[in-house]
Amino acid sequence: MLIYTLLAGLLFGLYFSLMGLGLNLMFGVMRIVNLAHGDFLMLGAFLAFWLFNLFALNPIPGVAVAFALFLLAGLPLYYLLVPRLLAARDPEMLSFILFFGFSQVIEAVATIAFGTSERSIPGGSMARAAAAVASLLDLAYRPGPIAFLGQSFPVAWLAAGIVSALAVLLIYVYLYRTRLGYLTRAVMASREEAISTGIDVHRVSAIAFGIGIALAAVAGVFVPFMLGSITPAMGVDVTITSFAVIVIGSLGNPLGTVLGGILYGVSYMFMQSYYSSWANLLPYLLLIAVLLVRPSGLLGRQVRRA
C-alpha cells in the first residue's frame, strides 16, 4: 500500500502541477489572480467529452485540440479584459473582482448549455488510445492497467502524468531557451523596466495569458479520469486546489508549481488511502501550514533573489 500510494501520489502530483501551471504563469507575468481558472479547466473537460461523444476522438489527440483552441481564444480575451486592469492602481485586487464575475458568467452559460447532469468519459477510451500508440511504436500492449514496480495503475493516470511532465518541460524550454521566454522573464522580473527597454509587454502578456488558459484546458481533458465526473459547477473546487498547489511551491514562479504539485499529490493520495474522510480538507490544511511557516512559498526566497 505504501509503494502504491507514493507512486500514485507522484502521478497525481504531476497532474496537479499541470492544473496550477497556467495560473502561476499568469500571476508571474501579469500579477493578476484568475479566479476563472477552474472554469477554463471545466470547459476543457467538456470539450474532451464532446469530442469523444461526437467524433469518437480519444483524449490523447484531444489534448492538442484543446491547447490550440484555448490558446487562440485566450489572445483576444486578454485584450478584452486585461490591459485596463493592469493600468489600475491595484490590479491584483481588481483581478479578484473581475475574474470572479467572469467565473460566474462562464458557469452560468455552461449550465444553460450543458445542464447540471454529471458527465464522464469511459476509462476504456484511454486504454484504446494507449493501445493505438503502442501499435504505432511496434510495442506489445493490451488494453488494461499498466504494471510498474509490482503495482498496477490505470492507463489514464500514466497518460496524465506523461502529458503533465511534457507540459512542464515545454514551459521550461519556452521560458529559458527561447527569445520570447527571455522577454517573458524580463516582464516577470519588472514590468516597468521591461517597458522602459522597449519590450512589447502586451504582446508578451497576451501570449502568456493564452498559454495559461490553454494549459488549464489541457488539464481539463484528464478531469474525467483523475477527478471524476464533469459538471459546470466544478470550477470553484478546481481553482481552490490550483491555488493550494501554486502557494505551496511559490506564487509567481511557474516551475515552482511542480514542487507544490508533487507535495500536494503525494499528500492527497496518503489522505485518500489512510484518512479518506479528511481528504477534502487537504487544500485548506496545506495552505494554512505553508502560509504560517513560509508565507512566500517553499521557493519564495529564490524567486525574490532572481
Indicate whether this model's pTM tops 0.85.
yes
- Say how many CA atoms lie within 13 Å of 177 toward its Cβ: 6
CB atoms within 10 A of CB 160: 26
Query: Do the Cβ atoms of 176 and 162 come closer than 8 Å?
Result: no
CB atoms within 10 A of CB 152: 10
- Per-position DSSP letters for 176-216, written without gaps between them: HSSHHHHHHHHHHH-HHHHHHTT--HHHHHHHHHHHHHHHH
C-alpha 20/C-alpha 15 separation (Å) is 9
Query: Do the Cβ atoms of 196 and 2 come closer than 8 Å?
Result: no
Nearest to 52 by CA among 42, 41, 63: 63
C-alpha 197/C-alpha 34 separation (Å) is 28
C-alpha 157/C-alpha 141 separation (Å) is 16
Q: What is the pLDDT of residue 208?
A: 96
Which three cell numbers mark 236? 470553484
Per-residue pLDDT of the chain (306 residues), as tens digits, is 788 888 999 999 999 999 999 999 999 999 898 999 999 999 999 999 999 889 888 888 889 999 999 999 999 999 999 998 888 888 888 998 999 999 999 999 999 999 988 998 876 666 565 555 544 444 444 555 676 666 777 888 888 999 999 999 999 999 999 999 999 999 999 989 999 999 999 999 999 999 999 999 999 999 998 988 899 999 999 998 998 899 888 888 888 899 989 989 988 888 888 877 777 777 778 778 877 877 666 666 544 443
Q: What is the pLDDT of residue 236?
A: 92
Strands 146-148, 151-153: pairing kind: antiparallel
Query: Do the Cβ atoms of 16 and 245 come closer than 8 Å?
Result: yes
- Say how many CA atoms lie within 13 Å of 118 toward its Cβ: 7
